[in-house]
């Protein structure tokens, strides 16, 4: 479904990704793990067109997308949940949700999806007309997820969805990811909660210094004590 | 429950109704329509009209109109333009040039002028948004584009250089005084004409605000990179904001050129015109629908009255503009329309400390 081949990218003069290769298959949950500064977030941002690749190709369903601006990539069905949440804090929960539905497809079934989301996240339903910035961190994370799902994604890209959340909320986030995946959405996620993520993921990639150093099914990576120790900081 | 609270409660119920904006609009514009008569009412031997003439009212509504147009771009999308005189001047000049050379009816010329201004806005937008100019840099760039036009016009004999244009008589373009000619022999019809302009631009502003376009504009204003990451085509919508705003600002310039007798580069393209065009929106409340109108009714009459009363102090009106600008930016960046809610918050705080004291006692 998604294929990165020898992708180089970075910020201005500083190259962060030195040739990344990875694939995400239809219907998979793929985890990208690695220590801080390895280039995980940069990879996500490059896929989504927020950063542009200086070298290499990114193909989605057989078509190159590395030249496209982010709104066209969203149009293709790739929706990102950014690490820093990027909510519109002065706008209402409802406005934030509505802004998630951008493509023609997503807009066509907007009201339907909206109802589903309010069911899936009852706390958001209670706070529809509250300003997003006045909610707790966990609620904001839920809103970010719900907003992404409003875009009716085929491929959902999650950048550290559980960061800074209480353990109970972390579980809630993972439950939502599983629920979404069971509805046929492909998921690519970066996570610090390595154990939990790898248990959920079909495959995992380990990233180090801007390169992929290992890829294997999730449970294999989990069982490999050396990897868990060396890369995952457990 | 106190009476104030019950009044507020019933107002909130009213506000939830779908007809509320309509009722408010009719009330506001009804009041504005009656204003020329209200100022002539004799109260205890004093007429408001003695200080507040119809001319000042016209100017006030002109600046309410242009501020409303400025607000669509700068208030809604957050791209602060300091160069709207460019569009205003284009509106005035294109209308007069077409009138002088081709005897083109000002109503048609005005629309042509609007399209030219929108085009100039798109050029400015393309150059600045492409290179991601933001905040102060964007404001300065727009100012440069406005000043550029002033220099060009001053030096172009095809546009009469520094002399400018003198408004022709209706018979020069085969018309008679009246609506069709865009010229009247008294001020009152001029007042209702600009009030009509204000109504149209306010209506359009309201429609934008309550549509998808408005949602996108606000998202861009709030956080452009977040808007881009959810898939809002930010560049396209910023361009739309500039074009719409420039178009309507130019119509304001066209009106100006048909109301006053002459236009010159140092009036319609003046450096200070940039301030006059945006200040009412900033004072009233940028990004709100009513702010630009409220703001103009605060700023314009005060500075006009000061200018005509203290004729021996040159530039007093500008000092007043400056004082307004400084005061509002420092003390109330959300404008005068935010005062009621701020007062309420203050009142609630005062009351809650009172009740706390009671508990402590």
pLDDT tier, B357 (very low <50, low <70, confident <90, very high otherwise): low
Phi/psi of residue A226, each to 5°?
-60, -45
Q: Over A36-87, what HEC string results?
A: CCCCHHHHHHHHCCCCCCCEEEEEECCEECCCCCHHHHHHCCEEEECCCCCC
Taking one residue from A and the other from B, the number of pairs with CB-CB distance under 8 angstroms is 58
pLDDT given for residue A71 in this prediction? 85
Order of strands across the sheet that contains A211-217: A78-81, A155-159, A186-190, A29-34, A203-208, A211-217
| A77 contacts chain B (CB < 8 A) | no
Query: B74 and B134 in contact (C-beta within 8 Å)?
Result: no
- The list of chain A residues with pLDDT below 70 reads 225-234
Residues in chain A within 8 Å Cβ distance of B230 = 74, 79, 86, 99-100, 102, 147-148, 151
Pairwise pLDDT comparison (B342 vs B219), residue with the higher score: B219
Query: B131 and B197 in contact (C-beta within 8 Å)?
Result: no
Other residues' Cβ atoms within 10 Å of the Cβ of residue B214: 18
pLDDT given for residue B226 in this prediction? 84
| A100 contacts chain B (CB < 8 A) | yes
Pairwise pLDDT comparison (B83 vs B355), residue with the higher score: B83
Residue of B nearest to A103 (CA): B231
What's B74's DSSP letter?
I
pLDDT given for residue B25 in this prediction? 93
- d(Cα A94, Cα A143) in Å, to the nearest integer? 10
Binary contact (B231, A88; C-beta < 8 A): no
| B220 contacts chain A (CB < 8 A) | no
Rounded to a whole number of angstroms, the CA Rg of chain A reads 17
pLDDT given for residue B360 in this prediction? 46
Domains in chain A, start-ordered, CATH in brackets?
1-77+153-234 (3.40.50.300), 84-152 (no CATH)
Mean pLDDT of B265-271: 93
| B43 contacts chain A (CB < 8 A) | no
pLDDT tier, B246 (very low <50, low <70, confident <90, very high otherwise): very high
pLDDT given for residue B150 in this prediction? 94
| A101 contacts chain B (CB < 8 A) | no
Q: Report the interhelical angle of B187-209 vs B212-222 (nearest 10°).
A: 80
Nearest alpha carbon to residue A47 among A68, A16, A26? A68
- 3-state SS, residue B40: coil
pLDDT tier, B325 (very low <50, low <70, confident <90, very high otherwise): confident
pLDDT (tens digit per residue) in B146-195: 999 999 999 999 899 889 999 999 998 988 999 999 999 999 999 999 99
For chain B, the distance separating the N- and C-terminal CA atoms, rounded to the nearest angstrom, is 23
Q: Cα distance from A5 to chain B (closest Cα, Å)?
A: 23
pLDDT given for residue B315 in this prediction? 81
Residues in chain A within 8 Å Cβ distance of B227 = 88, 99
Query: A30 and A24 in contact (C-beta within 8 Å)?
Result: yes
Distant-in-sequence, close-in-space partners of A182: CB < 8 Å, separation ≥ 6 = none
pLDDT given for residue B361 in this prediction? 41
Pairwise pLDDT comparison (A231 vs B28), residue with the higher score: B28
Q: Cα distance from A58 to chain B (closest Cα, Å)?
A: 18
Beta bridge partners of B140: none
- d(Cα B132, Cα B130) in Å, to the nearest integer? 5
Distant-in-sequence, close-in-space partners of A214: CB < 8 Å, separation ≥ 6 = A205, A206, A221, A227, A231
- d(Cα B256, Cα B93) in Å, to the nearest integer? 10
The average confidence (pLDDT) of chain B is: 90
Residues in chain A within 8 Å Cβ distance of B231 = 70-71, 74-75, 79, 102-103, 151
Question: How far is CA A125 from each of CA A122, A128, B9, B78, B263, rounded to the nearest angstrom?
Answer: 5, 5, 24, 29, 57
Mean pLDDT of B225-243: 90
Question: How far is CA B62 from each of CA B239, B251, B255, B323, rounded to the nearest angstrom?
Answer: 25, 10, 8, 21
pLDDT given for residue B200 in this prediction? 98
Note the ipTM here.
0.75
């Amino acid at each position: 479904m998604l294929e990165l081949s020898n992708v180089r990218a970075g910020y201005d003069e500083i190259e962060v990704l030195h040739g990344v290769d990875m694939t995400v298959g239809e219907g998979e949950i793929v985890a990208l793990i690695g220590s801080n500064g390895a280039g995980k977030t940069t990879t996500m941002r490059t896929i989504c067109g927020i950063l542009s690749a200086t070298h290499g190709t990114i193909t989605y369903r057989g078509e190159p997308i590395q030249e496209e601006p982010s709104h066209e990539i969203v149009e293709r069905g790739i929706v990102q949940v950014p690490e820093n949440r990027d909510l519109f804090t002065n706008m209402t929960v409802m406005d934030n949700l509505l802004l998630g539905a951008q493509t023609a497809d997503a807009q066509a079934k907007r009201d339907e999806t909206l109802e589903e989301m309010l069911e899936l996240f009852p706390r958001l339903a209670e706070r529809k007309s509250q300003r997003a910035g006045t909610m707790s961190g966990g609620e904001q994370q839920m809103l970010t997820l719900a907003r992404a799902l409003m875009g009716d994604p085929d491929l959902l890209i999650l950048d550290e969805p559980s960061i800074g959340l209480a353990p109970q909320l972390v579980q809630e986030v993972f439950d939502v990811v599983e629920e979404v995946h069971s509805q046929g959405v492909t998921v690519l996620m970066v996570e610090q909660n390595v154990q939990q993520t790898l248990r959920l993921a079909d495959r995992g990639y380990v990233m180090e210094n801007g390169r992929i150093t290992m890829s294997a099914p999730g449970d294999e990576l989990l069982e490999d004590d050396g990897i868990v120790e060396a890369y995952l900081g457990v | 429950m106190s009476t104030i609270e019950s009044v507020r409660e019933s107002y909130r119920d009213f506000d939830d109704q779908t007809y509320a904006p309509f009722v408010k609009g009719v009330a506001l514009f009804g009041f504005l329509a009656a204003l020329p008569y209200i100022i002539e009412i004799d109260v205890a031997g004093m007429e408001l009209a003695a200080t507040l003439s119809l001319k000042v009212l016209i100017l006030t509504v002109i600046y309410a109109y242009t501020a409303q147009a400025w607000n669509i771009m700068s208030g809604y999308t957050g791209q602060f333009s300091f160069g709207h005189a460019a569009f205003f001047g284009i509106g005035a000049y294109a209308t007069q040039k077409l009138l002088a050379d081709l005897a083109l009816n000002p109503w048609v010329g005005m629309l042509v002028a609007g399209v030219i201004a929108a085009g100039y806005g798109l050029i400015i937008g393309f150059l600045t948004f492409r290179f991601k100019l933001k905040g102060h840099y964007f404001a300065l760039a727009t100012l440069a584009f406005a000043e550029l036009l002033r220099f060009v016009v001053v030096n172009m004999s095809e546009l009469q250089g520094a002399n400018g244009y003198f408004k022709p008589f209706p018979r020069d373009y085969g018309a008679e005084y009246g609506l069709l000619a865009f010229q009247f022999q008294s001020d009152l019809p001029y007042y209702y004409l600009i009030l009509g302009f204000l109504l149209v631009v306010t209506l359009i502003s309201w429609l934008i605000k309550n549509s998808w376009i408005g949602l996108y504009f606000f998202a861009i204003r709030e956080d452009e990179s977040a808007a881009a990451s959810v898939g809002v085509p930010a560049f396209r919508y910023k361009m739309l904001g500039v074009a719409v705003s420039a178009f309507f600002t130019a119509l304001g310039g066209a009106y100006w050129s048909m109301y006053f007798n002459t236009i010159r580069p140092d009036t319609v393209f003046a450096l200070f015109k940039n301030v006059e065009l945006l200040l009412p929106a900033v004072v009233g409340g940028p990004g709100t629908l009513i702010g630009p109108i409220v703001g103009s009714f605060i700023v314009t009459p005060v500075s006009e009255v000061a200018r005509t009363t203290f004729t021996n102090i040159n530039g007093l009106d500008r000092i007043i503009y400056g004082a307004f600008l400084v005061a509002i930016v420092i003390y109330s960046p959300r404008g005068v329309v935010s005062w009621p809610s701020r007062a309420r918050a203050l009142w609630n705080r005062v009351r809650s400390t009172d009740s706390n004291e009671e508990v402590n006692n």
